[in-house]
Chain A
Amino acid sequence: KAGVTQTPRYLIKTRGQQVTLSCSPISGHRSVSWYQQTPGQGLQFLFEYFSETQRNKGNFPGRFSGRQFSNSRSEMNVSTLELGDSALYLCASSLGLGDSGANVLTFGAGSRLTVL
């Protein structure tokens, strides 16, 4: 079956602009989460959505937001871009049920954002 699909794969923006990244989860997965990966800070959790509701949020400023649609697809938005927002943004999906413990995530290939 198809994996987690993220679009676009690469994009370049300038400071002050905003950006929207899209994520299509694996069919049947109801939970989508987002991570930021940078050389300096590593992999950091942004937020998690389950059944269109934000279930968990990391320690990021309000410029970072997200949403999930009824078909489980998710978008994240970053407004007023700063140079430090340059990163690989990874989306992951899971069944979201956690029946046997933590959710097992499947990651997409990521969207690489460069802010100039």
Chain B
Amino acid sequence: AQSVTQPDIHITVSEGASLELRCNYSYGATPYLFWYVQSPGQGLQLLLKYFSGDTLVQGIKGFEAEFKRSQSSFTLRKPSVHWSDAAEYFCAVGERNTDKLIFGTGTRLQVFP
């Protein structure tokens, strides 16, 4: 069965520090991977996706993610965090031609000034 694991429930960083959020997936076929962000009281906003090709993908708001098939991982990074990045981040895996996503449990990011 497909599954997504985000091992860090809560991460706290200082503004300006770098950020790395981990995600591991279990999926038999070609994984279609996503990172979404959710601010309080809001829906989910797509940060970036990986379908194929270059294993380093660029997203919005200065985020990037690295796909490593050998480790079944999809790691989200940002070189310098801003206070506005405080939110919950979700990793998800999808299937071809369907809206069904399997989400991880999320990582709540807190940013200190």
Q: Report the number of A-B residue pairs with Cβ-Cβ less than 8 Å.
A: 77
Tell me the dominant secondary structure on chain A's binding face: strand
Total interface residues on B, CB under 8 Å, equals 28
Chain B neighbourhood of A55, CB < 8 A: 98-99
Contact between B43 and A107 (Cβ–Cβ < 8 Å)? yes
Q: Which residue of B lies closest to A44 (CB)?
A: B103
Q: Which residues of B contact A110 (CB under 8 A)?
A: 42-43
In the bound complex, what is the Cα–Cα distance between A101 and B67 (angstroms)?
16
Q: Please tell me if the beta carbons of B51 and A56 are within 8 angstroms of each other in the complex.
A: no
On B, residues with C-beta under 8 Å from A are 30, 32, 34, 36, 41-46, 49, 51-52, 90, 92, 94-106
Chain A positions within 8 Å of B, measured between CB atoms, are 4, 31-33, 35, 42-45, 48, 55-56, 58, 90, 92, 94, 96-98, 100-110
